Chains A and B, each alone.
Chain A
Amino acid sequence: MLAKRIIPCLDVTAGRVVKGVSFVELRDAGDPIEIARRYDEQGADELTFLDITATSDDRGIIFRIIEQVAEQVFIPLTVGGGVRQVEDVRNLLNAGADKVSINTSAVMNPQLVADAAARYGSQCIVVAIDAKQVAPGKWEVFTHGGRKATGLDAIEWATKMQTLGAGEILLTSMDRDGSKIGFDLALTRAVSDALEIPVIASGGVGNLQHLVDGVKQGGADAVLAASIFHYGEYTVQQAKQYMAEQGIEVRL
């Protein structure tokens, strides 16, 4: 049976892995290549790198990191952050990314998703959605690292991205990101039920039960977490063993 995936996420800036709370207050977590190697050894199913560099000057750093990781880590690598045109997608794939995540630029220019999917295949196009609850059962899409409201409904937006050719949705609850109180399960469930493509739940993981809830209650196909792994609270292996004990199919 297909396993639910556990995906450690590495937010990278200036060549370091960092983690913020609600998209601000960054804290250093270490060297991305070392961390990637550690998660690979622990049995991570994929790795996601988000380049959160604010300026375009330092964009080259992420390419060198991905090149090095891809030479030694043989699991799927997703890279996002600052992807604005099809050429950016190509460059990241050429550096060794297997999938490219598009967030703000998908909102600014939805055709980018269609063009990138047509050129490289849906399997390598992930659309990242940062969503914030605005009313019971209603979530709005935000861009620019959570700073700009778009007026778009998250469920409608996710459905549109699927239609344009996204192969997967990386769904982050901005309300929960960094909070350690668990995924926004209602949001995860609503988006997952609306789509035929896989949904990765993100934002809010503070313990291993949260991962289980994301799958069982949220209906997520994969769960993404950062800080619980970065600061040594849990290993990926421990997370998988716990999920297996709760009856979730995982790759052990």
Chain B
Amino acid sequence: MVDIAVVDYGMGNLRSVYNALRSVAPKASIEVTCTPSVVEQAGRVVFPGQGAMPDCMRELDRMNLRSVVLDAAKNKPFLGICIGLQMLFEHSTEGDVACLGVLPGEVVRFKHEMHDAQGGRLKVPHMGWNQITHRDHAMWQDIAQGERFYFVHSYYVQTGDAALVQAESQYPDAFVCAVARDNLFAVQFHPEKSHTAGLQLLKNFVSWNPV
């Protein structure tokens, strides 16, 4: 069994995720995998995602990965990234599809014609380095309030369960950019592309022992 499995359901490039994990955990066995049994037996699971939600959900099922992902999300240190966070919720307005339903809430699009306080137009996708405000959680160890992470997304999650929320960012209104429950942690931004702060988060993940 591997220490860390990065779930590969065929939606894009996971090499960045692999490279970043490798740099913070040089001794760990890390595998980018589409094999359900490898995910099932891994010590920790990283669940990334990019592309369009309907494609992600379809490919996850086509590759028979849904049940092992659901299982991992309940039982072992689990890190969702970007669409990997969004897929954990109940429903997405992107293509009007049902998602995994691990967490309560919906994935919605940023509005058109948004503006900042100076009247500057805010583009979609929300792309670039934005600041976060986080709660206390082992995954934020050595990460300052107001730290910047790299985002690229047009959709974000809305949940009625405030206890899940571990961080927020603003564009221009506050939106949820990290959630956690028990062994599960998920972020909207890309830690693998967020320089030292992102590597710190991944480092926290590889040593995280959720109670």
Q: List 27 A-B contacts (CB under 8 A).
A: A1-B116, A2-B126, A2-B128, A3-B128, A3-B129, A3-B130, A70-B19, A74-B19, A74-B196, A93-B12, A94-B13, A96-B19, A98-B16, A120-B11, A120-B12, A120-B13, A123-B50, A123-B125, A123-B152, A167-B127, A167-B152, A168-B125, A168-B127, A196-B123, A197-B123, A198-B128, A251-B148
Q: Is B193 close to A, CB under 8 A?
A: yes
B1-22 near A? 1/0 per residue, CB < 8 Å: 0000000000111011001101
Does the CB pair B170–A1 fall under 8 Å? Answer: yes
Which bucket holds chain B's interface residue count?
Answer: 35 or more
B121-139 near A? 1/0 per residue, CB < 8 Å: 1111111111100000000
Does the CB pair B193–A74 fall under 8 Å? Answer: yes
Residues of A within 8 A of B (CB): 1-5, 40, 45, 70-72, 74-76, 93-98, 118-124, 167-168, 192-193, 195-199, 219, 221-222, 251
Taken together as a complex, chains A and B put the C-alpha atoms of A72 and B196 apart, in Å, by 11
- Expressed in whole angstroms, the minimum distance between the Cβ of A121 and any Cβ of chain B is 4
Taken together as a complex, chains A and B put the C-alpha atoms of A31 and B116 apart, in Å, by 40
The residues in B between 172 and 208 inclusive whose CB is less than 8 angstroms from any CB of A are: 190, 192-196, 198-199
Q: Given the complex, which residues of B lie within 8 Å of A4, measured CB to CB? A: 128
Q: Is B153 close to A, CB under 8 A?
A: yes
Q: Is B23 close to A, CB under 8 A?
A: yes
Does the CB pair A221–B13 fall under 8 Å? Answer: no
Residues A198 and B123 in contact in the complex (CB < 8 Å), given A45-B128, A124-B50: yes
Q: Given the complex, which residues of A lie within 8 Å of B194, measured CB to CB? A: 74-75
Does the CB pair A75–B193 fall under 8 Å? Answer: yes
Q: Which residue of A lies closest to B149 (CB)?
A: A251
Q: Given the complex, which residues of A lie within 8 Å of B112, measured CB to CB? A: 196
Residues A167 and B125 in contact in the complex (CB < 8 Å), given A74-B193, A123-B152, A196-B112: yes
